[in-house]
Amino acid sequence: MHELAVCQALLDEVERIARARRAKRVAAVRVRVGALAGVEPELLQRAYEVARAGTLAEDASLAIEDSPVRVYCPRCGNEGTVQVPRLVCAACGEWRTEVVAGDDLTLMSVELVAADGVRAGGS
């Protein structure tokens, strides 16, 4: 259950961004989880609900964007979506493919609130 450790890293970064922009709280967090990232979206969601307590993101929702695995085939040039655990080229069957998407774990965006109804980070 490393999703909790992932959430702690996520919340550390979210709080860092919120503080740097002098936000009062965080309203929403969006992450992208690749199918090959080694993180279960459902477990991440549950771990997040535990980990966010006492942070600036205490009331922030977490949106998880799925990202299917895409591979490029250097032999035939085909690029397409594949199903884990078979990352072979769907067009020619070559196994020496390169993963071009779906193996990342990325913090995409955050929504910050400076005070009720007021935008954060303004001058």
Partner 1 sequence: MCENCGCAATGPEHVQVVKPLLERNDAEARHNRAHFDAHGVLAVNLMSAPGSGKTRLLEVTIPALRDEYPCAVIEGDLETDNDAARIRRHGIPAVQITTGSACHLDARMVHHALHELDLDGLALLFIENVGNLVCPASFALGTHRDVVLVSVTEGDDKPAKYPVMFRNADLVLVTKVDLLGVLDDFEVANVARQVRELGNPAPVVAISARTGEGLELWLDWLRAQSATLYGAVDRGVAALGTT
Compute the distance between CA of residue 118 and CA of residue 60 in angstroms, rounded to an integer: 16
45-82 residues labelled b (16+ CB within 10 A) or e (exposed): eebbeebbeebbbeebebebeebebbbebeeeeebeeb
Interaction of residue 65 with partner 1, rule CB under 8 A: no
Q: Rounded to the nearest whole angstrom, what is the least distance from the CB of residue 53 to partner 1 in the complex?
A: 18
Q: Which two tokens stand for residue 11?
A: 């919340």
Q: Does 36 bind partner 1 (CB under 8 A)?
A: yes
At closest approach, how far in Å is the CB of 54 from partner 1? 20
Question: Residues interacting with partner 1, by CB under 8 A?
Answer: 1-2, 5-6, 9-10, 12-13, 17, 21, 23, 27-28, 31, 36-39, 71, 84-88, 95-99, 104-114, 117-123
